[in-house]
Amino acid sequence: MFLPQEIIRQKRDGKVLSNAEIQGFVTGLVDRSFNDAQVGAMAMAIVQQGMNVDETVALTRQMMNSGDVLQWPELDGPIVDKHSTGGVGDKVSFMLAAIVAANGAYVPMISGRGLGHTGGTVDKLESIAGFNVQPTTEQFKHIVKDVGMAIIGQTSNIAPADKRLYSIRDITATVESVPLITASILSKKLSAGLNALVMDVKVGNGAMMQDIQASKELAQSIVNVANGAGVKTQAIITDMNQVLGNTAGNALEIKETLDYLSGEYRDPRLHEVVNALACAMLIDAELAKNTNDAKQLVNNVLSNGKAAEVFAKMITHMGGPSDLFSTPDKYMPVANVIEDIKAPTIGVINAMQTRDIGMAVVTLGGGRLSNGQDVDHSVGFDQIIHIGSKVTAGDVIARVHANSADSLAIAKNSYLNSVQISEVVNNFNPVIYQTITENRKAE
């Protein structure tokens, strides 16, 4: 048995921890033989000294095995998932899971709530009347088998060691550590019993990682560790220097999802991200031979309505209405006041402070600054115009949805301050930057 202070000392002094020492730390997280001060000290030692791939694999495995690990012997196809590092307007999971499930894979997606400027997948689903994001494990497994996909909230039985470690990291300035971020993400994702995982690592002023080098480092770490833990994984680095799609806000993003799946409207940047991730998932799941084959599969299930059908089936299986596609306003809240935001001058939209737009949604009530806060699902922005768009004074560049005149005025002002209109056209960022595979970087 290892004393907590000895394990901390080893890492503090830059030593490589053994599997047994890492197991001792994770056991201590769960049974509290590591007190809060010791957990904080251990996290700080890891921040300062780092961890190699083998140590991070061991930490991930031990945290994954600290709670329930799902098994799927009853399924007759590949089990795949995607995880995003988060951003503003990121509703990719909904259409992506439906597309991949419609092609014969199973997608058991365990997602989180929003915190800070990023929206939460679970919060968006709770915009839908009756939708239950916390089914039992048995119900979750049944829905995945019957529908092909289910998106649920995290449970206390999934990676409880990570839950405690993260809560302490959050208050001890130890969040920014690539090994700890990697183990935190993967311990929860790999608990779902996956065959393959695709990571969407965001980069830009609305992302956790704001520069490309930091994004590559995190992506490479996740890919190496997940493959080391036995799950085929690649990462795609995508842009978050502007809102993804044309909506930001819970119910508004579900409406955009319905429009996308039904073919009513598909934002080109959003479609590029969905398509890239879907192709990667289908290839890794061995449902497509190559990218061209995968693109055809994606197009097929979007054009014949099968992806929309799968999403609609998940909604009803999880307590939501059967006619959400045809009458969304009947089942999702609508804001009291909706007003256009107009361009103050002529020019080109040259830049967007994406994080500030996310915080404007939070200020409207559409997000939370601390766990447990209630969320107003009706508020946010839609009809968002992308960077590179030419505008004249008075053109609508977005609409704000609010529940009071005062909050609307504040949000409108925040949005205008977040968007730069200029006569000079900058070189705009690509949507997809790079794909990261194990131990090598492929352009």
434 is a domain residue: no
Kind and range of the H or E run holding 78: none
Find out whether 111 and 121 touch, Cβ atoms under 8 Å: yes
C-alpha 101/C-alpha 306 separation (Å) is 9
C-alpha 400/C-alpha 398 separation (Å) is 7
Active-site residue (options: 56, 118, 121, 127): 121
Find out whether 369 and 354 touch, Cβ atoms under 8 Å: no
* 274 and 209 share one domain: yes
Helix (H, G, I), strand (E, B) or coil at 339: strand
Angstrom distances, CA of residue 80 to CA of 179, 211, 231, 365, 390? 23, 28, 10, 33, 40
Is residue 13 flagged as an active site residue? no
Is residue 313 flagged as an active site residue? no
Quote the tokens at residue 206.
């609305």
C-alpha 167/C-alpha 169 separation (Å) is 6
Residue 171 confidence (pLDDT): 86
Is residue 202 flagged as an active site residue? no
* 253 and 292 share one domain: yes
55 is a domain residue: no
Find out whether 10 and 21 touch, Cβ atoms under 8 Å: yes
C-alpha 390/C-alpha 396 separation (Å) is 11
Active-site residue (options: 11, 61, 82, 313): 82
74 is a domain residue: no
C-alpha 198/C-alpha 385 separation (Å) is 28
* 158 and 281 share one domain: yes
Quote the tokens at residue 312.
């609609």
Report the range of poorest mean pLDDT among 173-177, 188-192, 198-202, 368-372: 368-372
Residue recorded with tokens 């997000």: 367
Number of domains in the chain: 3
Which range marks the domain in which residue 26 is found? 4-50
Find out whether 226 and 219 touch, Cβ atoms under 8 Å: no
Residue 303 confidence (pLDDT): 98
Answer yes or no: is pLDDT of 374 > 90. no
C-alpha 432/C-alpha 434 separation (Å) is 6
The predicted-structure confidence for 240-295, as pLDDT tens digits, reads as follows 999 999 999 999 999 999 999 999 999 999 999 999 999 999 999 999 999 999 99
Active-site residue (options: 60, 66, 84, 93): 84
Is residue 189 flagged as an active site residue? yes
303 is a domain residue: yes
**Given its phi and psi angles, is residue 335 left (phi above 0), alpha (psi -120 to 50 degrees) or beta?**
beta
* 108 and 196 share one domain: yes
Is residue 169 flagged as an active site residue? yes
The predicted-structure confidence for 379-420, as pLDDT tens digits, reads as follows 999 999 999 999 999 999 999 999 999 999 999 999 999 999
The predicted-structure confidence for 170-189, as pLDDT tens digits, reads as follows 889 898 899 999 999 999 99
Active-site residue (options: 11, 61, 117, 169): 169
The CATH number linked to 165 is 3.40.1030.10
Active-site residue (options: 177, 184, 414, 418): 184
Active-site residue (options: 61, 113, 141, 189): 189
Q: What percent of the chain has pLDDT over 90?
A: 88
432 is a domain residue: no
Quote the tokens at residue 232.
């085929």
Active-site residue (options: 117, 141, 163, 188): 188
* 184 and 254 share one domain: yes
* 188 and 273 share one domain: yes
| Position 424 confidence tier, pLDDT thresholds 50, 70, 90 | confident
Helix (H, G, I), strand (E, B) or coil at 373: coil
Compute how many other C-beta atoms are within 10 angstroms of the C-beta atom of residue 273: 24
Domain end, chosen from 273, 294, 326, is at 326
| Position 167 confidence tier, pLDDT thresholds 50, 70, 90 | confident
Q: 372 Cβ partners below 8 Å, 6+ apart?
A: none
* 29 and 141 share one domain: no
* Alpha helix segments (H runs only) across 65-199: 92-102, 121-125, 137-147, 160-169, 178-189
Answer yes or no: is pLDDT of 442 > 60. no
Is residue 188 flagged as an active site residue? yes
Is residue 127 flagged as an active site residue? no
66 is a domain residue: no
C-alpha 143/C-alpha 141 separation (Å) is 6
Angstrom distances, CA of residue 25 to CA of 6, 22, 47, 129, 342? 11, 5, 15, 42, 55
Residue 115 confidence (pLDDT): 66
Quote the tokens at residue 152.
């649920």
Is residue 83 flagged as an active site residue? yes
Is residue 317 flagged as an active site residue? no
- Reported residue count of the chain is 443
Q: 286 Cβ partners below 8 Å, 6+ apart?
A: 78
Q: 56 Cβ partners below 8 Å, 6+ apart?
A: 179, 182, 183, 221, 225
The predicted-structure confidence for 87-120, as pLDDT tens digits, reads as follows 999 999 999 999 999 999 999 999 877 767 887 8
The CATH number linked to 342 is 3.90.1170.30
Angle at 208 between CA 282 and CA 86, to 5 degrees: 40
Question: pTM of this prediction?
Answer: 0.93
* 147 and 271 share one domain: yes
Strands in 432-437's sheet, in edge-to-edge order, are: 80-84, 196-203, 232-239, 432-437, 440-442
Q: For 349, which DSSP code?
A: E
238 is a domain residue: yes
Active-site residue (options: 81, 200, 259, 382): 81
* 340 and 299 share one domain: no
pLDDT (mean) for 214-239: 96
**Given its phi and psi angles, is residue 365 left (phi above 0), alpha (psi -120 to 50 degrees) or beta?**
left
427 is a domain residue: no
Active-site residue (options: 61, 83, 113, 202): 83
For 366, half-sphere exposure in the C-beta direction (CA atoms, 13 angstrom radius) is: 37
* 152 and 209 share one domain: yes
Residue 136 confidence (pLDDT): 92
* 148 and 296 share one domain: yes
Average pLDDT, the chain: 94
C-alpha 364/C-alpha 61 separation (Å) is 40
* 377 and 317 share one domain: no
Find out whether 72 and 106 touch, Cβ atoms under 8 Å: yes
